[in-house]
Structure 1
Amino acid sequence: MAEANEHNSTSGTYLELTQAGIIGTMLFVTAGLWSFISPTGLISKGEISPIELTLIGTMVASHGWVMCFVLGAAFDVLPFIHRFVPFEESSLKSVQNLNLGGTIVIFVGLISGNLGFFYQTFLIGMSAFAFQYVHLWNPIRRLLSNRNLGLSDPVGIAGVLPGITIVIGSMICLVAGLDSENLGTLYLTMWMSIDLIWIPICWALSLSYFNRRRNWKIVPANQIGIRSSIIGGLVLIHLSFEIAYFYSYVGESIPFLLRGGVILALGLMLNPHRIIQNSIREKHYSALIVVSCTLIPIIGAISVFLWSIDSTTPRMFVYIGNGFLMILPIGAGIATGYISTLHEDHLHRREENRTNGWPTSIIVLIATVSISGPFLREKLIFETLSIQIRTAIIALPFLLALFRMSTWWKEEVIPKKGSWQRIPMFWDELHEPLDPYEFESE
């Protein structure tokens, strides 16, 4: 991206984070398959339970390769929105290296087949993820102090919420890495990641796409503040009960209810009926974002329903499956859908020449169904199935997604010379002058 570097901007460097995210996905899928298939895999040897690997995998995805897509989009579009440049290219490079480096270290530990060594590499990898957030502290501080949002902004306060909460990611990663042998700690840090990082991110990206990019106005601008407050209030209540449950001050019933309740609340605040109505009426949109957002209230409702019919011995979907799905495939779907739309904007591709991406969206649906199956029983279904069936259930959606990512990388991420523009279409219309890098950086 010589052109981006020449202008000393972060526009276009999202491509590097996108590539790091795709490489991280390859390592993630390979390590997961190795754990189940290889005779030296930790699952095959019985040294680690599928539940523990699920929790660890959720943490690695949420702070590793999925986060790459989110940060790539943020580095690219925030200067266009706020009319100043809060980031430096060196910050992006550091984040990219720490993110991918952490994933590689954890990958090496997992395929080693040595449980003690794996815990050590997991600590190193999570520490790298923690330090990636440290590099974001100063840019986020500058962004919050210099943000430029009017009362009629279509995203409003929702657009800065992730910046307020994401700095806590450092603490979450370090706690998970230091006490990774404790299932209770992994549960707590997973739900802290979802509540404090991924719910704000999904809320912000969804509104940014539907309200700002598509102008669908799924949530009126004057309601964003109160809806954000409702979501934030539920998150704080949920986290209070999670911490109390971790220290055995309360039982599991209320925390388990709130795990699904906070997801359901996010889904309802997005007005899914308006998303569906607009997707039926409009011809051009990202089906990946539409499907992912529509799945949020469905997963939340199923979780609450399953809790209501049996709160004493709840199914795994109620307390871990819903959280795993919130990251994979929902969070990943929203993030990759957003970054692919942004990339097409940089290519200045006309709307009528774009595809909605339904094949990828179908992969998300397959992933949701196939991943949900093991969690819809009281005990993990993996324990009663052969290794071949276990692997097929886990691998199918991830292999499909990996194939789609790889083909997209080959076809789109490395475009033909001259087709990529530093200033993306649509985003250059938000403010004057057209180029945000003509504004003075603080």
Structure 2
Amino acid sequence: MGFELQRKPHWSAGSYIDLVLAAVSMQILFFITALWVGTSGTEFYQDNTTEVNHAMRIQLGLGWLMCILAGIGFSILPLIYDVIGFERTLMRVYVGMNVSGQVIITAGILSGNLSIFNSFTTIGITLLAASVVCLWSPALTIFKNNSDNGKKVGPFSYALGSFLPIIGIFTMACWALRDEFESALDLSERILFDLFFSLSLIAIIISHINRRLDWRIIQPDNTGKVFGVYASLLLISIVAKSLYEADDISTRVVAVLQFIPYIFIFMMLKPIKIIAQIRNEKPHNKMVIASVFWLPVIGVAAYIEMMGYAQTTDAMMSYYRWILIFGVAFQVFGVLLHTSMKITKDATEGQKDTFWVSLITVNFGALITVYALLSSWQTGEPRDNIARLGIGV
């Protein structure tokens, strides 16, 4: 006996609320864990710095940041581009696996026991990786829609869809092989943050400005080419770091290669044209537009760190990655608030206040991180206390 499941194609357009709620809850849990590590769990943390840091960064990247990204990619985009996104059951499976993975990683860290930590973190990373792999199906749906609607969806479909299963499997493999390959965990983080998130965030920016605002900063025929060059430059920068660690290329060469991708994509986004549109009082999302102007700062920060002008510790995430998260990721996620206002046709005073508070605090946090970077350059010492202040903001 067969039957056809009937549903509205855009029922998932509001499902981003569930994903964002999951992300916010896990974000609170993440910062509680970080607080514990910095206070009660210092001895365990100091003995296992590399592994604990990696577990928390994967919790950050594949956990609550990915929840928000999924909300945009498979809930907001179906509304904007007239395509089908999440199946309801799949969304629940994804959220359940994602949240469970983060909770288990947290439990492993809070245990203060190395054996429990290793077991729980392995389970948690496996769940996070599997949750990402299960997003392949809706990503493939949007990818197929691209062939039917030309360049309507833009690069987001293949930017996210092509990498999802690879990211999940690669992250799991790097954790499993961490004892055999010294640089496995670092490489896993580079692929996740420096490649995947850099690609996905730029894809959202291009899709939002080109489609939602209809500014055509990049011609539809050129989006694929620009995106392909950007992806290639990011890959080259990642490979260059590995070659540098093997003493095959100089510090300055690899530093320049870290700088180039962000300057390239910044120029391709035509900042002068964006400024002209703003001066002409064209409607726009201030957070998304602000994120564009943080891109060259990321490139400069990556160059400074690679040259050794600014110092970090094993416990610190790179300055340029925090700028990527605060200056670009958090602001691009403002697409959610922007779209919810458009859906309701009229923003309440509370929504407007929330928007402005978010805009100010996120950019202030990014500025504090930049100050920490410059202060480290001047003093020659890590400025992790200042960087933590930026994170707190």
Q: 160-169 vs 297-306, which deviates more?
A: 297-306
Per the alignment, residue 296 of structure 2 pairs with 297
Per the alignment, residue 122 of structure 1 pairs with 121
- Confirm or deny: 8 A CA contact 1:156 1:224 kept in the other structure: yes
Task: Give the letter aligned to residue 169 of structure 1.
Answer: I
Question: How far is the alpha carbon of 1:201 from its aligned partner?
Answer: 0.8
Per the alignment, residue 3 of structure 2 pairs with none
Identity %: 20
Secondary structure of the corresponding residue to residue 147 of structure 1: helix
How many residues of Structure 1 are paired with residues of Structure 2 in the alignment?
377
- Confirm or deny: 8 A CA contact 2:52 2:109 kept in the other structure: no
Per the alignment, residue 287 of structure 1 pairs with 286
Per the alignment, residue 404 of structure 1 pairs with none
What is the aligned counterpart of 1:342 among 318, 330, 339? 339
Deviations 1:192-238 (CA, angstroms, capped at 9, x unpaired):
11344112211111012212112233323233232112212212322
Deviations 1:159-205 (CA, angstroms, capped at 9, x unpaired):
43221222211123203432457762222111111344112211111
Task: Give the letter aligned to residue 99 of structure 1.
Answer: N
Structure 2 residue 310 is the aligned partner of structure 1 residue 315: yes
What is the aligned counterpart of 1:171 among 160, 169, 172? 169
- Confirm or deny: 8 A CA contact 1:158 1:225 kept in the other structure: no
Structure 2 residue 65 is the aligned partner of structure 1 residue 66: yes
Question: How far is the alpha carbon of 1:82 from its aligned partner?
Answer: 5.2
Task: Give the letter aligned to residue 346 of structure 2.
Answer: R
- Confirm or deny: 8 A CA contact 2:16 2:76 kept in the other structure: no
Superposed, which structure 2 residues align to 1:272-283 within 5 Å? 272-282=271-281
2 CA distance for matches of 1:79 and 1:298? 32
Superposed, which structure 2 residues align to 1:34-183 within 5 Å? 34-36=36-38, 38-41=39-42, 46-49=46-49, 55-80=54-79, 83-148=82-147, 150=149, 153=152, 156-179=154-177
Secondary structure of the corresponding residue to residue 156 of structure 1: coil
- Confirm or deny: 8 A CA contact 1:83 1:148 kept in the other structure: no
Segments of structure 1 that go 5 or more residues without pairing to the other structure are 383-389, 401-442
- Confirm or deny: 8 A CA contact 1:62 1:327 kept in the other structure: no
1 CA distance for matches of 2:216 and 2:285? 16
Q: 116-125 vs 346-355, which deviates more?
A: 346-355
Secondary structure of the corresponding residue to residue 318 of structure 2: helix
Secondary structure of the corresponding residue to residue 163 of structure 2: helix
Per the alignment, residue 21 of structure 1 pairs with 23
Describe the shift of the 1:196–1:300 C-alpha distance in structure 2 as closer, same or farther (beyond 3 A).
Answer: closer
Q: 277-286 vs 225-234, which deviates more?
A: 277-286
| Higher relative contact order (Cα pairs below 8 Å, separated by 6+ residues) | 1
1 CA distance for matches of 2:19 and 2:183? 32
RMSD of equivalent CA atoms: 3.4
Secondary structure of the corresponding residue to residue 355 of structure 1: helix
Per the alignment, residue 432 of structure 1 pairs with none
- Confirm or deny: 8 A CA contact 2:62 2:132 kept in the other structure: no
Question: How far is the alpha carbon of 1:60 from its aligned partner?
Answer: 2.2
- Confirm or deny: 8 A CA contact 1:245 1:251 kept in the other structure: yes
1 CA distance for matches of 2:116 and 2:326? 26
1 CA distance for matches of 2:109 and 2:18? 25
Q: 198-207 vs 137-146, which deviates more?
A: 137-146
Per the alignment, residue 359 of structure 1 pairs with 357
Question: How far is the alpha carbon of 1:244 from its aligned partner?
Answer: 4.1
Secondary structure of the corresponding residue to residue 315 of structure 1: coil
Describe the shift of the 1:399–1:178 C-alpha distance in structure 2 as closer, same or farther (beyond 3 A).
Answer: same
Question: How far is the alpha carbon of 1:265 from its aligned partner?
Answer: 2.7
2 CA distance for matches of 1:229 and 1:10? 30
Q: 174-183 vs 263-272, which deviates more?
A: 174-183
Deviations 1:277-305 (CA, angstroms, capped at 9, x unpaired):
43344375332222222111122134335
- Confirm or deny: 8 A CA contact 1:29 1:399 kept in the other structure: no
1 CA distance for matches of 2:186 and 2:326? 16
2 CA distance for matches of 1:259 and 1:125? 31
Per the alignment, residue 425 of structure 1 pairs with none
Question: How far is the alpha carbon of 1:324 from its aligned partner?
Answer: 3.6
Describe the shift of the 1:306–1:268 C-alpha distance in structure 2 as closer, same or farther (beyond 3 A).
Answer: farther
Segments of structure 2 that go 5 or more residues without pairing to the other structure are 1-5
Deviations 1:360-389 (CA, angstroms, capped at 9, x unpaired):
22212222233345553555334xxxxxxx
2 CA distance for matches of 1:354 and 1:285? 16
1 CA distance for matches of 2:309 and 2:390? 26
Deviations 1:247-278 (CA, angstroms, capped at 9, x unpaired):
x3735624444233323333333223333443
Per the alignment, residue 14 of structure 2 pairs with 12
TM-score (norm. length: structure 1): 0.74
- Confirm or deny: 8 A CA contact 1:284 1:351 kept in the other structure: no
